[in-house]
Amino acid sequence: MLKIIRLILLLGIITTAAISVATGAQAANSRIDVLEVKGVINPVVANYIDRGLTQAEEGGAQVCIIQMDTPGGLDTSMRDIIQDI
């Protein structure tokens, strides 16, 4: 009976270690891109976000964060950004 308990514990430890290694490898390959926008939204900013999203996608980023500190701006540029997202 003691041998069976030891075997079950050993299998549990091996399984846990294997899952930890697999999760760590996946996290090491994850990439997060951040696009920062400060100021008024205009065509230049819309173009920056479009290029940034394209580069993030082509570069294999898992996540792309758009961090904005803006009072607003040109309506057409904001609509372009929404379409890009």
Task: Sketch the domain layout of the chain as residue ranges.
Answer: 1-29, 31-85
Q: At 32, which helix (H) or strand (E)?
A: strand 32-38
pLDDT band for position 27 (50/70/90)? low
pLDDT band for position 24 (50/70/90)? low
More confident residue, 55 or 20: 55
User: pLDDT at position 19, please?
Assistant: 74
Kindly report, residue by residue over 30-76, the tens digit of the pLDDT.
899 999 999 999 999 999 999 999 999 999 999 999 999 999 999 99
More confident residue, 77 or 11: 77
Cα separation values, 70 from 17, 36, 37, 43, 45, Å: 46, 10, 7, 14, 11
Task: Tell me if the pTM is above 0.85.
Answer: no
User: pLDDT at position 30, please?
Assistant: 86
